Amino acid sequence: MRKIVVVLVLLVLAGWAVYDTLSNQVASPVEDGTQHESEIVEGIEVGNQAPDFALRTLDGKEVRLSDLRGKRVIVNMWATWCPPCRAEMPDMQKFYERYKDEGVEIVAVNLTQSEKQLEQVARFIQEYGITFTVVLDEKGEVSRQYQAHAIPTSYLIDSQGIIRKKMIGPMSYDWLVDQMKSIQ
């Protein structure tokens, strides 16, 4: 009886190893570090195609994430009342000023439905000297889609629109520099 149990356990482990190997091959990058388009799914996990969205800036200009393909993009969910959001903004601005001419874009998605007044967003942008793109998520659709349950939440997206990093909490200048070096 003991031998039968040992054989069954070994068969289950061997079956699991085969299953695990095959399932990892489907979703893993190929040798050149890219995935085949047919293997990439839209979602908010690392390795997924970032879900597209279109939001407006304070001056009414529409910004669509898919229009930024070819650039490395940081999508940052934030609000003016959030202390960690306020803390990271100077580092994000410094990073943007340094790397904007190297194919990097920041799209700061303001959780407008959580703000007391829209004017707070305009004052914040002016006070912090923000020059990167700020869009308004007035209905909360994008923050729900990207599951920004805690803010700030940021997604680092490569030039092909693939999520490469997710960060919950404030980002520092040095962290941004280190992370973006590894993203094409």
What pTM does this model have? 0.79
pLDDT tens by residue, 51-62: 999 999 999 999
The answer to whether 112 and 142 are in contact (CB under 8 A) is no
Radius of gyration over every alpha carbon of the chain, rounded to an integer in angstroms: 21
Instruction: Dump the DSSP string for 2-34.
Output: HHHHHHHHHHHHHHHHHHHHHHHHHHS--TTS-
The answer to whether 179 and 95 are in contact (CB under 8 A) is no
Average pLDDT on 114-126 reads: 96
pLDDT at 1: 63
- Amino acid occupying residue 60: G
CATH 3.40.30.10-classified regions of the chain: 41-181
Compute CA 24 distance to the chain's CA centroid, rounded to the nearest angstrom.
22
Instruction: Dump the DSSP string for 124-166.
Output: HHHHHT--SEEEE-TTSHHHHHTT-SSSSEEEEE-TTSBEEEE
pLDDT at 115: 96
| Residue scoring higher pLDDT (78 or 18) | 78
Question: Residues near 8 by Cβ (< 8 Å), separated by ≥ 6?
Answer: none
pLDDT tens by residue, 48-91: 999 999 999 999 999 999 999 999 999 999 999 999 999 999 99
pLDDT at 2: 59
pLDDT at 6: 44
Q: Does domain 41-181 sit in CATH 3.30.110.40?
A: no
